[in-house]
């Protein structure tokens, strides 16, 4: 049955119900079968229900209107038809029809009839009444003003009359048959919020209106006998919308140029607004804006806490916050962003947070590289100064030790002590040389080399250095360009990186050395800070050792920084390599993952000269004096004294 159905006993208990009443009331069948009529009735209380039941029993049937309360508390009007049956000790069969809409319609109709004329004449909206054939019956004064025609001019004409000049939003002409009023009359359906441009004959201009056409029906008929059309003048709103669109487009364009996005979060509803650039920054194509809490998930855990605290303090104090934070885009790309926000209050309560979001990844990377470069430059100056002073001291120790050895016989017990002093002092010069290499003050004799040949000649030495348990793979690039560098510096690079690779491999492993030609253009360098356009030779050394932890990556080139056990390393290996690469106008990058290994890539500028023999002749005779006079200038008194003595012993006049 479309209507609700009950079967009750004479005490008012519900014995049976149908699905229609369940839908009507919102209760389930099981819930209803535990209830009485008085639990659902709004008008009749239990005593009245009992009295009404006695009336039904005495009359045998009844039909009446009442009100029931649904499960959600809403009250709905019902028409009840009940019959009493004597079977089973007496039962009542009830059919219940929901007449809420009907009652509302009746009430509305009465109210409309009462207020129609007053409202019709005083409405700010324009109102036009048309008959079933579309002819205008009457209109109010607001319609006259908006349309620029008097009631007399409008009365009796239809929507297809040539006096109407109506246009769509795209500027095309309206057909009379597509007028909302005509559609409402034809279909019997209300037409809502249709936008139309109408010509005002008094102002000689178009006005924009929003139209609602409401068909009217006589009781029992399904075809409208008239239609009411109401319309608002939305010209200013349309102009404002056009201006807003222009402003939004302008702001989006400016934001895109500056890479600055705008955001707003409603703290009560959690809803937000983002500009197009904000979507671009977090790499979301479209969709709903993440809520005021959900958007925090884009930030790293550490920075999320910082932002939450900034939110809290900003809400408490009313002050604006300005933060630089790390985040991850929707596509998983790590970025740096600048987040600026400030609170908005209503009646003393913070209701919104709004601000800007700027992608500062490139700026941050440049800042970090500049800071790192400045730090390394400062350390380099310090290392150079230390090396200079250290070199002077070791030179004095070596010089006087050699002079003393010349005066002490080999069998003298003092001779062995002096030899140990001399040996230790010479070992210390290795540290001096490494510090000078890092400070880029190492004395060098660059030659144009074939890097493949130079490294190939070092492999035997390197294999002994790294040990038999580590496999050494050599992958030379084909037709390799030449490079200009001191051959001894190539030895230092390969040896130092090789030792580090050996120490990173716990037991067995593999070290791979490879070379190749590589070129960087301007576009590539713009996206990779620190790279300079040009042709380079790549020397890459990889190992499958323990790798480098991310938190120490910025320190690996610093002199004396080491993760090795005490006595296992000086911490000068990579700093020496760094200094050599920089001294030769190259650059170096390290790629590493803990427990997966490390790859060190060195880029040396291509040289277009001819390759020369890189062999070095270290044999050299000490020149003895033939009576010459030597001018010796030295600011360190001890070095001056030692130099003077050595030269005089060689026969020179100092």
* Structural contact between residues 83 and 104, judged by C-beta atoms closer than 8 angstroms: no
Average pLDDT rounded to a whole number, residues 210-216: 89
Count of other CB atoms within 10 angstroms of residue 91: 17
Q: Where are the alpha helices (DSSP H) in 41-134?
A: 46-59, 100-122
What pairing do the DSSP bridges indicate for beta strands 509-520 and 470-475?
Answer: parallel
Q: Is residue 248 over pLDDT 80?
A: no
Average pLDDT rounded to a whole number, residues 51-80: 93
What is the per-residue pLDDT for 442? 61
- 148-205 pLDDT per residue, tens: 888 888 888 887 777 777 787 777 887 777 888 888 888 889 988 888 888 787 788 8
First-to-final CA distance of the chain: 129
Tokens of 611: 């390759």
Q: Is residue 291 over pLDDT 60?
A: yes
Phi, psi of 488 (to 5 degrees): -65, -30
Q: At 149, which helix (H) or strand (E)? A: none
Q: Is residue 295 over pLDDT 80?
A: no
Q: Is residue 654 over pLDDT 90?
A: yes
**Beta-carbon contacts of residue 509 (< 8 Å; ≥ 6 apart):** 469, 470, 471, 543, 544, 545
What is the per-residue pLDDT for 292? 58
* Predicted confidence band of residue 31 (pLDDT cuts 50, 70, 90): very high
Average pLDDT rounded to a whole number, residues 641-652: 88
* Predicted confidence band of residue 361 (pLDDT cuts 50, 70, 90): confident
**Cα–Cα dist 578/591, whole Å:** 15
- The pLDDT > 90 percentage for the chain reads 22
- 372-430 pLDDT per residue, tens: 566 656 666 666 666 677 777 788 888 888 888 888 888 888 888 888 888 887 777 66
- CB < 8 Å & 24+ apart, contacts of 382-387: 383/435, 383/436, 383/438, 383/439, 383/559, 383/575, 384/435, 384/436, 384/439, 384/441, 386/435, 387/432, 387/435, 387/436, 387/439, 387/441
What is the per-residue pLDDT for 79? 94
- 117-157 pLDDT per residue, tens: 677 777 788 888 889 888 988 888 888 888 888 888 888 88
**Beta-carbon contacts of residue 136 (< 8 Å; ≥ 6 apart):** 128, 129, 130, 154, 155, 156, 157, 158
For Cα atoms 496, 497, 501, give the angle at the middle one, nearest 5 degrees.
Answer: 120
Q: At 648, which helix (H) or strand (E)? A: helix 637-649
Return the HEC string of 389-407.
Answer: HHHHHHHHHHHHHHHHHHH
**Beta-carbon contacts of residue 39 (< 8 Å; ≥ 6 apart):** none
* Structural contact between residues 276 and 257, judged by C-beta atoms closer than 8 angstroms: no
* Predicted confidence band of residue 446 (pLDDT cuts 50, 70, 90): confident
* Structural contact between residues 1 and 18, judged by C-beta atoms closer than 8 angstroms: yes
What is the per-residue pLDDT for 19? 94
**Cα–Cα dist 31/14, whole Å:** 10
Q: Is residue 618 over pLDDT 60?
A: no
What pairing do the DSSP bridges indicate for beta strands 334-346 and 349-359?
Answer: antiparallel
- 543-554 pLDDT per residue, tens: 988 888 887 777
Q: Is residue 452 over pLDDT 60?
A: yes
**Cα–Cα dist 334/328, whole Å:** 4
Average pLDDT rounded to a whole number, residues 527-531: 70
Q: Is residue 513 over pLDDT 70?
A: yes
* Structural contact between residues 482 and 449, judged by C-beta atoms closer than 8 angstroms: yes
């Amino acid at each position: 049955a479309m209507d609700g159905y009950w079967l009750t006993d004479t005490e008012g208990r519900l014995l049976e119900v149908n699905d229609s009443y369940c839908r009507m009331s919102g209760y389930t069948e099981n819930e209803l079968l535990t209830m009485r009529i008085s639990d659902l009735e709004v008008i009749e209380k239990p005593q009245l229900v009992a009295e009404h039941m006695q009336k039904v029993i005495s009359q045998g049937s009844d039909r009446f209107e009442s009100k029931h309360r649904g499960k959600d508390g809403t009250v709905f009007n019902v028409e009840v038809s009940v019959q009493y049956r004597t079977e089973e000790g007496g039962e009542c069969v009830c059919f219940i029809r929901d007449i809420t809409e009907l009652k509302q319609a009746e009430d509305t109709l009465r109210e409309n009839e009462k207020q129609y004329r007053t409202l019709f004449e005083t409405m700010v909206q324009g109102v036009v009444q048309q008959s079933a054939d579309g002819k205008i019956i009457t209109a109010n004064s607001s319609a006259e003003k908006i349309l620029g025609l008097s009631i007399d001019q409008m009365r009796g004409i239809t929507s297809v009359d040539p006096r109407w000049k109506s246009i769509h939003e795209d500027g095309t002409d309206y057909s009379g048959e597509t007028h909302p009023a005509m559609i409402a009359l034809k279909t019997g359906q209300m037409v809502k919020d249709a936008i139309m441009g109408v010509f005002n004959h008094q102002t000689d201009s178009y006005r924009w209106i929003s139209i609602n056409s409401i068909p009217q029906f006589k009781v029992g008929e399904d075809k409208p006998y008239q239609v009411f059309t109401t319309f608002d003048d939305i010209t200013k709103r349309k102009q404002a919308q056009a201006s807003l669109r222009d402003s939004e487009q302008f702001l989006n364009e400016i934001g895109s140029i500056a890479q600055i996005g705008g955001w707003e979060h409603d703290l009560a509803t959690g809803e937000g607004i983002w500009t197009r650039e904000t979507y671009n920054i977090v790499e979301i194509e479209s969709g709903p804006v993440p809520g005021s809490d959900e958007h925090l998930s884009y930030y790293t855990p550490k920075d999320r806490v910082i932002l939450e605290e900034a939110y809290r303090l900003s809400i408490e104090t009313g002050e604006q916050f300005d933060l630089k934070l790390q985040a991850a885009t929707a596509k998983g790309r790590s970025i740096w962003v600048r987040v600026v926000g400030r609170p908005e209050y209503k009646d003393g309560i913070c209701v919104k947070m709004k601000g800007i979001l700027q992608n500062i990844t490139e700026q941050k990377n440049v800042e970090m590289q500049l800071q790192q470069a400045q730090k390394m430059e400062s350390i380099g100056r310090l290392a150079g100064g230390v090396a200079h002073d250290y070199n002077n001291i070791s030179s004095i120790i070596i010089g006087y030790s050699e002079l003393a050895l010349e005066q002490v016989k080999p069998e003298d017990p003092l001779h062995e002590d002096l030899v140990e002093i001399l040996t230790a002092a010479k070992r210390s010069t290795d540290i001096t040389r490494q510090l000078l290499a890092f400070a880029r003050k190492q004395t060098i004799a660059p030659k144009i080399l074939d890097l493949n040949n130079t490294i190939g000649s070092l492999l035997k030495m390197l294999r002994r250095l790294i040990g038999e348990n580590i496999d050494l793979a050599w992958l030379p690039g084909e037709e390799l360009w030449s490079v200009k560098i001191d051959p001894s510096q190539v030895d230092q690079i390969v040896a130092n990186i090789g030792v580090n690779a050996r120490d990173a491999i716990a037991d067995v492993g593999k070290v791979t050395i490879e070379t190749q030609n590589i070129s960087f253009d301007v576009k590539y360098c713009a996206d990779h800070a620190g790279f300079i356009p040009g042709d380079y030779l790549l020397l890459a050394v990889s190992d499958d050792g323990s790798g480098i932890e991310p938190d120490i990556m910025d320190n690996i080139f610093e002199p004396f920084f080491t993760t090795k056990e005490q006595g296992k390393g000086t911490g000068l290996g990579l700093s020496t390599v760094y200094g050599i690469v920089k001294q030769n106008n190259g650059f170096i990058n390290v790629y590493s993952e803990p427990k997966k290994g490390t790859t060190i890539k060195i880029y040396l500028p291509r040289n277009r000269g001819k390759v020369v023999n890189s062999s070095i002749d270290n044999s050299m005779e000490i020149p003895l004096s033939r009576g010459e006079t030597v001018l010796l200038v030295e600011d360190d008194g001890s070095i001056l004294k030692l130099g003077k003595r050595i030269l005089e012993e060689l026969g020179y006049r100092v």
